[in-house]
Structure 1
């Protein structure tokens, strides 16, 4: 068993409670291929009289679209064989059918999310194993650190894939009625959210690539606000206060 993949932190989203498979349950991960390949959405058109198929998979978005991915973890440990059944029952009650968030010890900067299943329990004397899986997990891994706070979590920071993004807080006044911010590009696209806390009498307008958007109080989340291969610049005008939020992701 690889010492690099011997544990994971599992958070039950509904309760916010977290458990480490090794420290809290004494269960080690026995497989190294826990994170499966994401399933890509494809659309092929069979044209009569033509060789092969026409591939329209990226026609609408200009980029690959992923639907889901499997997460499968084989967990095993040693305990008194008389309590294994009750232990597995408690794990099923805790996790089976619940939406969970998983952070692997050897991939600490990102979490994976979806609805969990507990299956394939087996025991030989004191040694027991079972599978904890998310058959249709979200296709992306999400950074534990978003740009909402300058107080970064350095222990789980991924120095190879991680990017430090500063908080973006903007206030527009009569003296300063315009402002702009630029979000650096990303190999894996992500959507930006603009949260407006205050709007003045003149309102708030955002301009992106020549298109204007009237902002409403609260969260403004638009599919067009996508950071991809190029930097995204948001231009604001009017009166009010807002924050720009986003979370980077990996495949």
Structure 2
């Protein structure tokens, strides 16, 4: 039965039948400055972070549930409220199984005279959705999209003396972390990093986005590059 998973539990476990799914686009955070004598405002939206940022967005999921008594409806509503209302949860939509959303959930319910109960689960979500798998996880083909998916496996890569690794990043640029088996030097995006052995290190100032990024390593060792895709 089509629905959603909330913190690993599927809505079909409650007998809920999904009838609607609404995902609002997030509102951009703009930075406009009025300058005397200038006919239009100065748009500095991308100047602060180098890209557009967004406000939280709303996801709404509508469900039906056959109920023959008001008491049963009230019992299920109370059960869902106790589980999820006001709580921060992780949601995976069946139709988009490779990604998850994070946000605070609210629960609402009503019942008509014919015995049909309606429930609406609303998620006040972060603007981005996150890939279920990171670059260190084993790939699951049942959730892989052959239309838009990219296989990213950057775990325990062998570096013979020196090597350039092409990293395919995220639809929304993210900062990767890296771990090496022995001290070595990395050059990426015109910046040089001295990497210590056996410790996760975040590459400050480096973002990996849609375009391939070259990671140039020197010396011999084993390298892991970790990040999780983000997308609107």
Give the TM interval when normalised to the shorter protein: 0.7 to 0.9
What does 1:29-178 correspond to in 2, within 5 Å?
Answer: 29-33=18-22, 35-81=23-69, 82-118=71-107, 120-125=108-113, 126-135=115-124, 137-149=125-137, 151-170=138-157, 176-178=160-162
Report the Cα offset of residue 187 of structure 1: 4.1
- The residue number in structure 2 matching 1:14 is none
Residue 21 of structure 1 pairs with residue 11 of structure 2: yes
Would you say the 8 A contact 2:100–2:129 is kept in 1? yes
Task: With the length of structure 1 as denominator, give the TM-score of the two structures.
Answer: 0.79
Structure 1 residue ranges without an equivalent (≥5): 12-17
Between Structure 1 and Structure 2, the one with more strand by share is: 1
Indicate how the Cα distance of structure 1 residues 239 and 61 shifts in structure 2: closer, same or farther if over 3 A, else same: same
Aligned twin of 1:244: 225
* 2-structure distance, mates of 1:32, 1:98: 20
Q: TM-score, normalised by structure 2?
A: 0.85
RMSD of aligned residue pairs (Cα, Å): 2.4
SS where residue 203 of structure 2 aligns? Answer: strand
- Partner Cα separation in structure 2 for residue 37 and residue 79 of structure 1: 34
Total equivalences in the alignment: 229
Matched residue SS, 1:108: coil
Residue 121 of structure 1: CA displacement?
Answer: 2.0
Indicate which of 222, 237, 240 corresponds to 2:203.
222
2:172 to 175, 188, 191: 188
State the alpha-carbon separation in 1 of the partners of residues 205 and 78 from structure 2: 45
| Structure 2 segments unaligned to the other structure (5+ residues) | none
1:177 CA displacement: 4.4
**Distance in 1 between the 2:185 and 2:74 partners?**
60
> Whole-Å Cα distance in 1 between the matches of residues 169 and 178 of structure 2?
17
In the TM superposition, residue 141 of structure 1 has moved relative to its aligned partner by 1.8
Deviation of 1:87 after TM superposition, in Å, equals 1.5
